[in-house]
Structure 1
Amino acid sequence: MSTTDLAPQELRILVAVAEEGGFSSAAARLGATQSAVSHAVRGIERKLGAVLFERGRFGARPTPAGERAAAHARRVLRLLEAMAADVRRADTGEVAGRLRVAAFRSAALHLLPPALDRLAALHPGVEVTVTVVRELGPGAAGEVAAGRADLGIATLGSPAALPPGLVGGVLLEEPYSLVHPVGYPEPRSLPLVDWTENCGSYTRDWWAAQDWIPAATVTAEDDGAVLSMVGSGLGMAIMPALSLTDAPPSVRITDLGPDRPYRCVGYATTPELAATTPVQALVRILRSLGRSTPERTKPQLRAV
């Protein structure tokens, strides 16, 4: 056996210390003693040849190497679990097991619910948990890369853009539209209401070329708050289609024309989990919903 081989229990200890932020709390989580956990971590560090945690009165904080090691450990442990579930059901063809999904807010609100309803109807043995994450920095795809999610519903900078080490694809492209209070005669003259997750790099060039768009005077927490503020007459906004699903009657949605920007919504997973039946089943359903989205969402989305 190679000196760098780690047993599953060592991987569990590594993840527990990284997530709990200390040896004592990790030991309580694992039902072990603090000295056993501390000894195990020292052994893991020797095997990997790197310091994984900074020790101090604050507890144990993962170093950059520790963060990467914990991400790998989560992914290996999850793959072992998925392998066991797939093997047990190989003879029956049943799609079952645990499926962890991370998604940004508007996808979790408007894209995932019909997909999960269909998944439950077709494959009741799949147990799904959903985490809503802000699409800033690593976002939903980063949750997959870190081993905290099996499938991420994420915004992609371009149809081909995915973080290194992940696989996936585009589900749909959603256009941006001008949103403004009903009855306002010159909506482009209103102040801009925006939120931090809006206007990623894929729209910045278009945004910068529009001399009629002012700097935002109000920055809201999320797209729901933006819609509420626009509906209350506080300004106008430029928003993607998923955020406008079931928009209130107090707002009007105006097409920005043929040069309007689009946002790509896609999925991301690991190469290993892409071969598991729960991930494959949900991706198939999401793709089919992406093709039918224009019938359900205003303004129109383009399925890819």
Structure 2
Amino acid sequence: MTDPERSYPAPRELRVLLAVGRQGGFSAAAAALGMTQSAVSHSVRASERRLGAVLFVRGRTGAVPTAAGERALAYARRVLRLLDVMAAEVRGAATGGGEGGGGSGVVAGPLRIAAFRSAALHLLPGVLGRLTARHPELAPEVRIVREVGRGTAGEVLDGRADLGIATIGTTSPVPPGLVGGVLLEEGYALVHPAGHPVPRSLPLVDWVENCSSYTREWWAAQEWLPAATVEAEGDGAVLSMVSSGFGMAVMPELSLTGAPPSVEITDLGPDRPTRSVGYVTTPELAKSLAVRALIRELRGRAD
């Protein structure tokens, strides 16, 4: 039989763990929390006993999370966020009647969103405008995250975001432990300096986030496409280079929203590569009023 005292640190202990992870040491965490260093150490040791794992490597330069500690910190963020959501929704139900009591409830509080750059610039503004018009007590917080490695989905898994706008599909499926759905399919187009007589002779400019395996396979089959000679920091830099006449690029539609007249966008035909843009969240937060309201607005924008 599992010992509950060992298995479940209390919320106050989870906050201590997060402070140590955020501050990088016990003394700094103690100062941030208004506690003594010995109290912080005692709390961390209690959490380690209950979870049955060493969570931090202690050293002269501070405290570094172990692999188990990184996992514990991710769950701590998610658990504490759910407690915040519970409090907000209970208060909202008391104010608005609640979904089960004949009222709609009040959707309020922070809503943390992680999005890659082009989605944050061109997909979210209208969505969030409508969302906050419907729910004025909701406070969206958008953070731009590069869609490489674990990307926006990793932010959700680690408890730093409630919902991530992500590239998903057969080559980038929804990660285990999350739920999500496709919002739109965006095609890629050739973008080059306007009026250039032979745009396909220009150098190819690329950026690291433009890297779905399907797109790469398509590129490899195009004899006219050279290997990228320049890799820029992001799609904005790529578009700027193309606009200045430096080269050509193959870019997704969201990145080309509001492209300047100095560039020309050429359709790549029915066999053009595409990518799926969607959302990911945790199964628990998918049931929350704020995340459900955001998903409805996202789907409405996609439709």
TM-score range, shorter chain: over 0.9
Alpha carbons 2:5, 2:50 under 8 Å: kept: no
What TM-score, normalized by structure 1, do the two folds share? 0.93
Q: In the alignment, which residue of structure 2 is the partner of 1:187?
A: 199
Amino acid at match of 2:134: L
Q: Which residue of 258, 283, 286 corresponds with 1:271?
A: 283
Mapped contact 1:158–1:264 kept (Cα < 8 A): no
Q: 5 Å matches for 1:223-242?
A: 223-242=235-254
The structure 1 residue matched to 2:269, chosen from 221, 246, 257, is 257
Helix, strand or coil: the match of 1:243? helix
Q: 1:44 pairs with 44, 47, 65, which one?
A: 47
- 1:196 maps to 2:208: yes
> Is 2:139 the counterpart of 1:136?
no
- Compare 250-259 and 15-24 and name the one that shifted more: 15-24
Aligned mates of 1:41, 1:6 — CA distance in 2: 10
Tell me which amino acid in the other structure corresponds to 2:177: G
Q: Within 5 Å, which residues of 2 pair with 1:1-304?
A: 1-91=4-94, 92=96, 93-158=105-170, 161-291=173-303
Give me the CA root mean square deviation: 1.3
Distance in 2 of aligned mates of 1:241 and 1:232? 20
Kindly indicate whether the alpha-carbon contact (under 8 Å) linking 2:192 and 2:264 is maintained by their aligned counterparts in 1: yes
Unmatched 5+ stretches in structure 2: 97-104
Q: Which moved more, 1:244-253 or 1:212-221?
A: 212-221
Which residue type is aligned with residue 6 of structure 2? T
Q: Deviations over 1:66-96 (max 9, x none)?
A: 1000001100000011011111111412221
What one-letter code is carried by the residue in structure 2 that aligns with 1:276?
Answer: S
> In percent, how many aligned pairs have the same letter?
69
- Whether the 8 Å contact between 2:6 and 2:52 is mirrored in structure 1 is no
Question: 2:171·2:213 contact (CA, 8 Å) conserved in 1?
Answer: no
Query: 1:170 is paired with a residue of what secondary structure?
Result: strand
The offset of 1:160, in angstroms, is 8.0
Q: Give the distance between the partners of 1:14 and 1:247, measured in 2 at CA.
A: 46
CA shift, 1:222, in A, is 0.6
CA deviation profile, 1:92-127 (whole Å, cap 9, x unmatched)? 122212210110000000101111111111100101
Tell me the distance in 1 between the aligned counterparts of 2:237 and 2:78: 35
Q: CA offset at residue 128 of structure 1? A: 1.1
How far apart in 2 are the matches of 1:160 and 1:283? 20
Q: CA deviation at 1:241?
A: 0.4
Q: CA deviation at 1:187?
A: 1.3
Deviations 1:142-184 (A, max 9, x none): 1000000001011114398101100110110100000000011
Q: Report the count of equivalent residues.
A: 291
Between the aligned partners of 2:209 and 2:253, the Cα distance in structure 1 is 14
Unpaired stretches in structure 1, ≥5 consecutive residues: 292-304
Moved more, 51-60 or 244-253: 51-60
Q: Secondary structure at the match of 2:83?
A: helix
